[in-house]
Structure 1
């Protein structure tokens, strides 16, 4: 194949050869020969890894892209849904740091653009921005993030999800996935090839739907619509890259269970799938536990090569997030102001009632009716139908928590090589406006279904948060031949304000600036195959705006979270083997914890609102080691393995734990072994992962299997067809996947799940 192009487009040609889709001839060649073993890590003075191509094939395209990095050392990805279609039950742990519904201690970026937080309430993980077909790789920095990383959460490292570049030739790709649990997915991508003599672009769209694997019938599920556009334009020494993604997801959640409940019914999360007309039962109806999210993220990157030794990038970006979280409390509330007068916004709950007469007048339970029922059916005395006459009408609410976020920002990075110095410097600036409100809607007729009145009968709270961030960084790497040294410093300036949406008055303000954060490291090249590295960094996580939500939080006594990370390691690379070993130790201070009112009570507190408080409660000390190896046996076979040993313990006493206790949900040991085989157009892969105990949750081992066949058609209208088959948890292991941060409840891991994907390129 002969390609005529300008010198400035050579980089795109190379990049497109590594991206999807590619031409039929190129893909046939790549599929029929064994790929070279990729380098496990970059030449950095801290532990870092990138995913292998085989890891993408281990997951169905219908799955979340988060699951792709689960086999890397130090990382545990847990999702309650078989295809990762429920943010509520998703968590990520690495070296004792966690992303879950309550904690955001790991940074996440997409093409270097900050994701806007990974929390459930208004955040968005990488799976909201990127389809697997449009992903080139995932760069993982364990423990220490790259100094230029734009994140306010990178206490324990970062994940950078890198999107694929447009293909060099015009190509159209269609794919369909069908799988267990009613999984169905349509995907289309069109690459324009070269247009305007200097531009390459693609546009893609996917539609994915699945059902919850728990239960049957009306057991809920996930529906996701996703679109992406990306272009690259070369103008002399200036390269312009633009990308826009849109994601609209409607997810029904999974519920966490206790170890006792799991042992009793290991395939049931206590949610129901038949509407009974009895509110204290129907509060657990699966379709009433929902997460609705809409995310749009766009950026334009200007990359200018000023000279052979100086370049800079400027990337303005924007992000719009809109969403809702649903629950269905088994009662209506009567809200009152401070003087006891009824209100429809603000105030507090004066009383609740679960039954009315035929005219809608609240009824009191029969005298002496103090029944207590086993959770999850226990909603307090007076909510069981046995407390009322047969003519009583049950009532319930549909509670909505609304999330909106608008971010605009800019990253600017420069690199200057002079003499023995490689200098990096830059900044990150962002304005983040987040709105959160909660309203209660009356279920029109609880005896029939959960259809609700669109007009809320009470708005519990409405808050606006403004977060302004400015980060500066500077790093110099000195090259002494076999030895390179680096030293860097970064500084965060973070201001957060809260405004009451009812009064438009500022009700909270906190400064979350960091100290000057230093980092240093060294790499020593023993020979062409072996290098040693060591690194030290001071990491930082700003106070979250959620701290200002809680009226009892004492802001003047809350400090930002910090962590000191030390990595010592070795990398060994030959043509057939890539090996990495790292020992690390981490000192995490000023850990911020939420203390809920009545946190020792059973059941769901639907009325918690803005009560409770945040406070610093000591910290965490972690140490451990990580090993990974990729070995190419021959042109057909390759083996990959990783092992992690981690010991994370609390420092200082706090509610729920004492000093020296193991960190809730942290994993002590993980071991991965996988093998991939390629012969001609046929491919085959299998992997297994052992995950050790996490508090009360027992250890477990899961195995996955994948196979595929690629058929090229040279000179035909269809250039190629690919068939891919994936089975996760092939032994149907029953296990608890991820905790909820309290050490007592966990989400149930998904059962054996199979899917098949047909892909055609034109």
Structure 2
């Protein structure tokens, strides 16, 4: 797609709808007189007061804090921490990696590749929600997320990580293991333009600009935030380069005293070479960062392993009040266009160890191709794929004071339409169709087709809950949510079977929740929660003969959590204990002798238990100490090993902030874990990974320039992985080197970055 059009793929429709909405807001809405602050996007303030949460407090400086209003563990990462500590290309996955019970590392460097093995209490990507301004997003096939294709750190105003399914109002594709709630940055009340740049290891570069219009009184107090970022890096892994352009806009317009209209639009263009890791033998010979090569005669040539991805995200939001009824509605759309994606048939075959060839030299192993019935034994086989989808949906939330409490109710509806294809090709013949590596016994044009699918997912989740104020300091909130999922297919070549398939299946479940919060004082509270989570079967459950899934039950969790929070000016502390019962786990089984495809059944479950603690203590003027601890245990009914689930995680380090100078040095330790049952290793119990500790150092200085054309400037310096740990920590499922050894990732080596910004 033309570079200058990528951010506008759907924006013209969204703008037209936005203008129409502003023009048609009911006239009587402007007659209300309550303060607009009740419907702003800033969120609810902590009842402990601004002295406990405002600038200079422990909560303000903390990498993770909790509110005294919490009804379950929700770790909040604030904008201050993000602005001062996020690396140039960071995504939400990099930012939340500091939190307890969370494991996340980008093997190619921060933001330079989608994270491998992001785990929250042992739940993997696809088993928890990710939302943006409350809107769930992700792939409908398995509910996973492309962290490099949407929002960058410069536009994130905060992240809340909910360590459970939440109350009944928490909606999403996978209300199962938690929610990562990303919040957009709000426009500033004063006009300001920031130009910023970063330069780092591996030829990493970021150039960007942020514009805040301030309060435009001549335009009805409207405010605009606009940013553009251009990011590129060669990456830590060999030939693993990435280029990314991202445009983000947020516009807010009050209508009278009680209505706020918000329009958000984001466009992202990504080009990247996709590393697959290397075997231990390859690492020993060529270095731990070996992955792709510059040799066009090998399957791991970077030109044969690359993605071109365009994505966008837009919504129109209205917050208003009608009498005693508060209304918050967001009409949205987002899209992901992976077109095309290229990969070598087996990228790990990049180096023939038996001949001792170095990366980038000829003579590497290939399997040959067949094009037009003619065999080409020395040609390079590979694959080309597309995955293009768009979601359209609406999120409606309403609340009304009623009796001794507040009634909350609403609904979320989403429809995602997806087109997926993959074909075998010959790279040596400019992508000619290759029938020599066909997966299925098909003929004609489909002899080289692995999948050619059209599918859709329709999701509906209405909810209702009542926040009963038993006393001024005690609330009890029972609620119910109804979840409906429907998958439908119209496929010429269904993945897993190679046969045509036209069919659908739906699942439903009622999910109860009960939460309570008791405040001992304005700074101290206790909470407890019972809630059920739900995840519909993934698309791969249809990759079997006849694709009949009626016997499968949705996977479910029952969550029990208790905890306490202290939020004062000099201390933010929280601790929690949890137990989670995961039932109706879907596992793969054999379909029988001679049957193509993988079959699935509900078998067994998992019991999780553990707890987290976190604290930020401001023990001296401008100086704080941050620490956290996560303890996670599990037991499976079938004795299997869960992937990437450490028994412990911990973090510790000081933070200094006097308004001009900022500094932090925080260590994060991740305990021993495994790649999980079925991923190789002794007795097929996975590949064992030892514990590791990463230490990140950040320092910056903000000063008045004395220049007429610029107000302030800031310079900064960052070092990630200060002590240069390069432990092996992750496994690439499904790929091996020529000798059948698994491909692995090591921690990226020490990374340096300098930052510059000027404020006009």
TM-score band by shorter chain is: 0.7 to 0.9
d(CA) in 2 for partners of 1:397, 1:427: 48
2:107 pairs with 1:109: no
d(CA) in 1 for partners of 2:522, 2:357: 63
Quote the residue 2:92 is aligned against: 65
Contact 2:425 2:433 (C-alpha < 8 Å) held by counterparts:
yes
Change (3 A) 1:274 1:36: closer
Quote the residue 2:113 is aligned against: 86
- Cα deviations across residues 632-657 of structure 1 (Å, max 9, x unaligned)? 112210111100010123223xxxxx
2:582 pairs with 1:588: yes
Quote the residue 2:565 is aligned against: 571
Mapping of residues 256-271 of structure 1, within 5 Å: 256-257=277-278, 260-261=280-281, 264=284, 267-268=287-288, 271=291
Change (3 A) 1:483 1:106: same
- Cα deviations across residues 17-38 of structure 1 (Å, max 9, x unaligned)? x9xxxxxxxxxx9799995668
Quote the residue 1:760 is aligned against: 758
Quote the residue 2:236 is aligned against: 213
- Cα deviations across residues 88-118 of structure 1 (Å, max 9, x unaligned)? x53321111011xxxx101000001111338
2:194 pairs with 1:200: no
Quote the residue 2:746 is aligned against: 748
d(CA) in 1 for partners of 2:357, 2:488: 39
TM-score normalized with structure 2 length: 0.80
Deviation at 1:39, TM superposition (A): 4.9
Quote the residue 2:307 is aligned against: 291
Contact 1:665 1:739 (C-alpha < 8 Å) held by counterparts:
no
TM-score normalized with structure 1 length: 0.80
Contact 1:266 1:748 (C-alpha < 8 Å) held by counterparts:
no
2:631 pairs with 1:645: yes
d(CA) in 2 for partners of 1:585, 1:426: 29
Quote the residue 1:483 is aligned against: 474
Unmatched tracts of structure 2, length 5 or more:
1-32, 46-53, 348-352, 370-374, 436-444, 675-687, 736-741
d(CA) in 1 for partners of 2:273, 2:515: 46
Deviation at 1:703, TM superposition (A): 0.5
Give the match's secondary structure for 1:556.
coil
- Cα deviations across residues 581-613 of structure 1 (Å, max 9, x unaligned)? 100001111223456999xxxxxxxxxx99434
d(CA) in 1 for partners of 2:365, 2:272: 32
Quote the residue 1:168 is aligned against: 189
2:342 pairs with 1:320: no
2:674 pairs with 1:688: no
Deviation at 1:466, TM superposition (A): 1.4
Quote the residue 1:354 is aligned against: none
Deviation at 1:231, TM superposition (A): 0.4
d(CA) in 2 for partners of 1:202, 1:263: 46
Contact 2:268 2:312 (C-alpha < 8 Å) held by counterparts:
yes
Give the match's secondary structure for 2:95.
helix
Change (3 A) 1:550 1:226: farther
Give the match's secondary structure for 2:672.
coil
Contact 2:103 2:120 (C-alpha < 8 Å) held by counterparts:
yes
Contact 2:40 2:260 (C-alpha < 8 Å) held by counterparts:
no
Mapping of residues 100-499 of structure 1, within 5 Å: 104-117=126-139, 124-125=145-146, 127-195=148-216, 196-215=219-238, 219-236=239-256, 237-257=258-278, 260-261=280-281, 264=284, 267-268=287-288, 271-275=291-295, 277=297, 282-307=298-323, 309-323=324-338, 324-329=340-345, 383=367, 394-444=378-428, 452=431, 458-481=448-471, 482-499=473-490
Deviation at 1:505, TM superposition (A): 7.1
Change (3 A) 1:582 1:730: same
Quote the residue 2:529 is aligned against: 535
d(CA) in 1 for partners of 2:282, 2:387: 32
Quote the residue 1:720 is aligned against: 712
2:613 pairs with 1:627: yes
Contact 2:367 2:377 (C-alpha < 8 Å) held by counterparts:
no
Give the match's secondary structure for 1:213.
coil
Change (3 A) 1:757 1:453: farther
Runs of 4+ in 1 over 6 A off after TM superposition: 9-14, 29-34, 371-377, 379-382, 454-457, 502-505, 595-598, 741-744
Contact 2:501 2:546 (C-alpha < 8 Å) held by counterparts:
no
d(CA) in 1 for partners of 2:636, 2:71: 27
Quote the residue 1:77 is aligned against: 104
d(CA) in 2 for partners of 1:128, 1:755: 22
Aligned-CA RMSD value: 3.7
d(CA) in 2 for partners of 1:14, 1:590: 38
d(CA) in 2 for partners of 1:176, 1:146: 41
d(CA) in 1 for partners of 2:100, 2:589: 32
Change (3 A) 1:553 1:176: same
Quote the residue 2:6 is aligned against: none
